[in-house]
Amino acid sequence: MREKQLVGFIDLSLRKTSVKPIPDEWRRGYLGGRGLNIFLLYSLLDAGIDPLGPENLLIVGAGLLTGAPCLGAARCNVSGKSPLTGALGDSNIGGQYGVAMRRAGFDCLVIRGRSEKPVRIVLHEGKIELMDASDLWGLDTFETEEEIARQHGSNVHSLVIGRAGERLVRYACVRTGRKSAAGRTGMGAVMGAKRLKAITAVNEGRIEWSEPDKLYRYARQMIEQIMSTKWAQAQAKHGTMAIFNYTYHTGLIRVKNFQTQTLPDVGTLEPENMERYSIQMTGCSACTIKCRHVYELSDGPYPHKGEGPEYSQLGSFGTLLGINKMEAVMNCTYLCNKYGLDTIETGNIIAWVMELYEKGLLREDELGGVKPVWGDEYSAYRLIEMIANRESIGDVLAEGILAASKRFGERSLYYALHVKGMGNLLSDDRAVPSFALGLATASRGSDHLRSRPALDLYGLPSDFLKNLYGGEVSQDYTSYDGKSRMVWWHELQYAVVDSLGLCKFQTIFCAVHAPSYNEWIPLIKYASGLEFTREELMNVGERICTLERLFNIREGFGRKDDTLPERYFTEPTNAGLPKVRNRKLDRSAFERMLDEYYSLHGWDSGGRPREETLKRLGLEKIPAREEVGVIA
C-alpha cells in the first residue's frame, strides 16, 4: 500500500484544496469507505444544517481493500446528510471509479461549500484540480462521461450527476458507467446543490500493497472459494435477478404497491427471459462473477444499450407497478440512469401514486394529465421524466414521499411505504420478521443492504445457526425468536464489508460458504499490513453502526422512527405459499425484537448508546474538527 494514503479536503466556495495523510488510528478504528466516511461526517458536520446548503459535506471514500484482485473489491461510499430524510446519507457504489480514485492518489475526499458556477474535480497523481463544468451542465449522465472521456482520454473514470441532481430531486443519485449508482439517500442532489457536476479520477497510478505476492496468491484462493458456491454460479448466469424466482413464488414480493403478492403472467419478468436480450456478462473491477447483463434494445420508445437490470428493478418497475414486461423494466431503469434517479425510490413513489389514483385520492388533472393505472408502462415513463425535470406533479414528487403526502392529504400517507422518509424496496416482509426489523432499524432509512440476513430463508440447521450467530436462532423464517441477533450480526458484518470495499454478494449474504471475517484477516494483512483479530473486526463494525446511530440521534431520530408503516401491522398478506399467506407483523413481538436488538448493540431501551458502550468502542469523545483536519 502507498506510504501516504491521502484524504483530500476541498472547499468549493473558497476554491481551495488541501491534502493530508490518513492517520493509522483512523484505519484501525474505521478501515475506510463507509467507516471512515461516518467518522469524518460526524466529526466535521454541524447538527441541524440544511442538506442542500453549502455547509453539508459530500464525502467519497474508497474501501481499505478497494483495488485488491478478488471479492469484487471495487467499491466506495458517497456520504453526507440526506436531503431526502434529514438523517444519515450514505450510498455504496461499484464499477471502476473507486479503484481509479485510489490509483489517482486518493482514498477519500471531503467536499464542502458551493461553487458559484458549475465545477468539476479532477484527481491525478495526488493532486486536486478544480475545473469549469459549464460545458457539462445540462448533459445527461451518459453524455457527461462521454464528454469527459473525450477531453481527458479513455483512461479516466468519473462520478457524475444528471438532470435530477442538477434540479435537486431529493433522491437523485451519483452515477458511474452504464449502470453503477450510489442510488439511495439523494447524494446526487447534494452534488447538484454544490454545483458539482463530476469527480474524475485519472486511472494511471499504482496501489502499493504491503505483501503483493502473498496478496495475489491468497486472492486466487478467495476467488476459488466464492466461485465454488451455487450462489455465485447463479449470479454469473442471471445476475442478481437470480433471486426473483424464489422470492416471488414464495410470496415475498410486493405487487401493486402493497395490495397483493401475485401478478398475472409474471413469467415475463423471470430472469430466464433476459437471455433473449443479453449480449454478454460483465462486472465491476476485480470481479470474477460478472453479474451484469450487457443488453441492447433496438426498438420501442427508448432504443438503447445498457447493463442490468437488477433484482430490485424487477420490483421497482415491474411488480410494484403491476407491469409484467421485461422491456418496460429495462426502459424505466434506462431513464432513471440517464437522468440520475434512484430506481428504488422512483419505483416506490410511482407505485404510491398509482394506488392513490386507484383509490380516488389523486385525479388526472392533478397529475398533469397522466393517468397512472396499474400495468401502464407509458405513464411510468412519463412520471420518471416529470420527476427528473420537476415538471408539473413531478415537482411535488421530486421532494420525496413524506413531503408529497403533505400536499396530497393525510389519507395518502397511509399508503406510503417508507422508513424515515426513504421508500421501501420490492420485498414484502410481513412474513419474515428478521427482514422487517432490518428495514425498520437501518441507519439510512428503509434498507436491505445494511443488515438483511438473507440466510434466514434457507432453513439452515439450528446448530449451524447457533454456531454462526453465537446464540439461539430459530430456523423458521416466520419466527421472531433470535431474529434480532441475526440482524445485529449481519449489521456488523456489512459495516465491515462496506469499509473494506468488498461486494456484499461475495460475502455471507446469500452464500453460506462465502468468505467472512476469518478469511478477510489475511487479506487485510497482505494488502495493508494491518493485523486484526475476528473480534477486533467485529468491534470495528460495532463502532461504525454506533457512530451512525449517534449521527441520527443528533439529527432528532430515535426509537419512534425504528418502525414500519401501519399497513405492515394491520393488513395481512393474501397470496404466496401457505406459510406466508395471511401474515402481518405482530406489534408486541416486533417491539420485543427491537428491545433485543438495542440490547445486543449496547443501547438503552430508547436506542441511545450507553456510556459503557461508547467507552468500550472509544466513542466517548469524538475528535474536534480541528483535530480531524481543516478543510482547505
What is 154-205 written as a DSSP string?
SSEEEEE--HHHHTT-TTB-EEETTTEEE-GGGHHHHHHHTTEEEEEEETTS
Most distant CA pair in the chain, distance = 66
pLDDT digits (tens, 9 = 90+) for 457-492: 999 999 999 999 999 999 999 999 999 999 999 999
Residue spans of the domains in the chain: they are: 6-202, 235-423, 433-622
Residues 6+ apart with CB under 8 A from 595: 605
Number of H helices, E strands in the chain: 25, 17
What are the strands of the beta sheet with 16-21, ordered from one edge? 16-21, 6-11, 106-112, 58-62, 76-81, 88-93
Higher pLDDT, 154 or 372: 372
Distance CA 88, CA 35 (A): 13
| 337, 144 Cβ separation under 8 angstroms | no
Mean local confidence (pLDDT), 561-580: 97
CA distance 438 to 443: 10
* Cβ within 8 Å of residue 406, ≥6 positions away: none
Cis peptide before 309 (omega within 30 of 0): yes
Domain 6-202 is in which class? Answer: alpha beta
Residue 379 dihedral angles phi and psi, to the nearest 5°? -70, -30
Whether the per-residue pLDDT at 208 is higher than 90: the answer is yes
pLDDT greater than 70 at residue 528: yes
Q: Has residue 495 got a pLDDT over 50?
A: yes
Predicted confidence (pLDDT) per residue in 501-514, tens digit? 999 999 998 889 99
Helix (H) / strand (E) containing 281: strand 278-282
**For residue 1, pLDDT beyond 50:** no
Distance CA 185, CA 423 (A): 10
pLDDT at position 479 is 98
Confidence band of 4 (pLDDT split at 50, 70, 90) = low
Question: Exposed (0-12), middle (13-18) or buried (19+): which is 334, by Cβ within 10 Å?
Answer: buried
Position 139 pLDDT exceeds 70: yes
Partnered with residue 91 across adjacent β-strands are 78
CA–CA separation, 455 and 229 (whole Å): 14
Residue that wins the pLDDT comparison between 286 and 38: 38
Q: Give whole-number Cα distances, 216 to 105, 169, 286, 523, 527, in Å.
A: 21, 43, 12, 9, 9
Rg of the chain, C-alpha, whole Å? 23
Cα-Cα-Cα-Cα dihedral sign, residues 408, 410, 411, 417: positive
CB atoms within 10 A of CB 364: 11
Is residue 246 pLDDT above 90, yes or no? yes
Look up residue 68 and give its three cell numbers.
485488491
Q: Could you tell me which residues come within 8 angstroms of residue 512 by beta carbon, excluding any fewer than 6 positions away?
A: 229, 455, 458, 460
361-364 — which CB contacts under 8 Å span 24+ positions? 361/408, 361/409, 361/411, 361/412, 361/415, 362/408, 362/412
The mean pLDDT of 37-57, rounded to a whole number, is 97
CA angle 502, 229, 462 (to 5 degrees): 95
Interval 444-461: pLDDT, tens: 999 999 999 999 999 999
Burial (0-12, 13-18, 19+ Cβ within 10 Å), 578? exposed
> How far is residue 51's CA from residue 396's CA, in Å, rounded to a whole number?
18
pLDDT at 190: 98
What does the alpha-carbon distance between residue 389 and residue 382 come to, in Å, rounded to a whole number? Answer: 11
| Residues 521-544, mean pLDDT to the nearest whole number | 98
Per-residue model confidence (pLDDT) at position 217? 97
What confidence tens digit (pLDDT) does each residue in 90-126 have?
999 999 999 999 999 999 999 999 999 999 999 999 9
DSSP string, 234-250: HHHHHGGGGGHHHHHHH
Per-residue pLDDT for 173 more than 60?
A: yes
Question: Residue 356 corresponds to which cell in the numbers above?
Answer: 392513490
Backbone angles phi, psi at 354, to 5 degrees: -60, -40
Instruction: Note the pLDDT of residue 2.
Output: 45
- What is the grid cell recorded at 599? 440490547
| Tens digit of each residue's pLDDT (9 = 90 or more) over 583-606 | 999 999 999 999 999 999 999 999
pLDDT value, residue 3 = 53
Question: How confident is the model over 18-31, as pLDDT tens digits?
Answer: 999 999 999 999 99
Give 76's contacts (C-beta < 8 A, 6+ positions apart). Answer: 33, 60, 61, 62, 63, 66, 92, 93, 97, 98, 101, 501
Q: Please tell me whether residue 374 adopts helix, strand or coil conformation.
A: coil
In contact, 552 and 88? CB cutoff 8 Å: yes
User: What mean pLDDT is predicted for residues 436-448?
Assistant: 97
Mean pLDDT of the residues in the chain: 96
pLDDT at 621 (0 to 100): 87
> What confidence tier does 631 reach under pLDDT thresholds 50, 70, 90?
low
Q: Is the dihedral of CA 344, 337, 173, 414 positive or negative?
A: negative
pLDDT at 630 over 80: no
Q: Is the pLDDT of residue 286 over 90?
A: no
User: How large a percentage of the chain has pLDDT more than 70?
Assistant: 99
- d(Cα 401, Cα 416) in Å, to the nearest integer? 7
Residue found under cell 420537476: 390
Q: What fold is seen in the domain 433-622?
A: 1.10.599
HEC secondary structure over 3-30:
CCCEEEEEECCCCEEEEEECCHHHHHHH
**In a 10 Å sphere around its CB, with 0-12 CB exposed, 13-18 middle and 19+ buried, how is residue 14 labelled?**
exposed
Coil, strand or helix: which one is 113? Answer: coil
Pair 107, 5: CB distance under 8 Å: yes
* Whole-angstrom distance, CA of residue 561 vs CA of residue 527: 39
Asked if domains 6-202 and 433-622 share a fold, the reply is: no
Query: How would CATH label the architecture of 235-423?
Result: Orthogonal Bundle (1.10)
